[in-house]
Amino acid sequence: MESAEKAKVLVIDDEESMRDSCSMIIEKEGLSPETAENGEKGLEKIKEIKPDIALIDLKMPGIGGLEVLEKLKETDPTIIAVVITGYGTVESAVEAMKRGAYDFLQKPFTPEELRRIMRRGLERRKLIKETEKLRQEKKLMEENFITMVSHQLRSPLVAIQQYFEVMLAGMAGDVDAKQKGMIERARERLDNLLGLINDWLEMARMNRGLIADRLKPVELREMLQKLADFMRPLAEENQVRLEMSPGNGSAVAEADKETLEQVFSNLISNAIKYNRPQGSVRIDIHNEGSTFSVGISDTGIGIDKNHLPFIFDQFYRVNRKEGQKTKGTGLGLCIAKKIIEAHEGSIQVTSEPGKGSTFTVLIPKTEKK
């Protein structure tokens, strides 16, 4: 076996005859045998030599096989653990497999049974290590791509944007009406492109699992009231009434305040912009057992039932009016969904064309300690 020539197999068993016989079979298979006479020395050997396969007797004095198995997985989860049991039942072996063992051998076993299980174990370890290598390479590629987009693509566009502002302000010389119109159109396209890049970067960061490490108790009612006050000028500009339902008591959720504010800001803004003149937007908070339910309801154009299954997809957009294109990247709701799911919550939508929509966000409460 060319791929297993240098593989190391560690036998942890308190019976000397078992260690010797296994070592002979392992060596004849072209592998490198190592032995340990008890669990304590077995754990020392695991840390020292990092074997490819560990054959672990379940019943040993001192540190037993199950404890060795658990500590082995802490040291290196790619090591293939095969447990050895000398009893007439397989209950103990099944328990070991629940704790992460790859397979088991029941005493007495034949040399061919040991060889067969080692071959399968080495193939399994090879697949695990290749998968981990691919995962690390993918992660590195994603990080490099995010860095490239952020610095090598976004930064020059921001610089161009600044040049446009200087030109439109007349600081680089006189600009006639025709030139000004062309620059303004170019700036608008550039703004859209930067918006797309910023949204994509935000979505990519959501995939990197950063939110879970930032969860803290957040007072939802207070946060939403501040957002409503901040959004009121936009509502007045669109002739929309924005109101928040009164509520008693605190509404403390386990959340990352920054990203959760981003979600609700997006939902409230959409509810205002997709509304009708003299329409309304209402924010409600309800206690739903282990979660809080936050509803953002509007009296706007609504969403056709054919569009509802896709509105959280990347780049999916619904036109505001017949024949009128909607501005935006189509990533806002996709990002919102990723953020809420990172909070172990959920986001849903119900809608009726011509009557309005309601987006409902469920956020877990802060656990009382």
Q: Angle 205-267-307 (CA atoms, 0-180°, nearest 5)?
A: 90
Q: What's residue 322's pLDDT?
A: 45
Domain 212-364 belongs to what topology? Heat Shock Protein 90 (3.30.565)
Q: Is the pLDDT of residue 369 over 60?
A: no
Q: Is the pLDDT of residue 161 over 80?
A: yes
| CATH class of the structural domain 2-109 | alpha beta
pTM surpassing 0.75? Answer: no
Q: What's residue 87's pLDDT?
A: 62
User: What digits encode the pLDDT tens for the residues 104-132?
Assistant: 988 889 999 999 999 999 999 999 989 88
* CA pair distance 137, 226, nearest whole angstrom: 43
Q: Is the pLDDT of residue 281 over 60?
A: yes
Residue indicated by tokens 């309005």: 356
User: What digits encode the pLDDT tens for the residues 182-198?
Assistant: 888 888 888 878 877 77
* CA pair distance 47, 65, nearest whole angstrom: 16
Mean pLDDT of 150-160: 78
Model confidence band, residue 287 (pLDDT cutoffs 50, 70, 90): confident
Q: Is the pLDDT of residue 90 over 80?
A: no
Q: Are 87 and 57 in contact (CB under 8 A)?
A: no
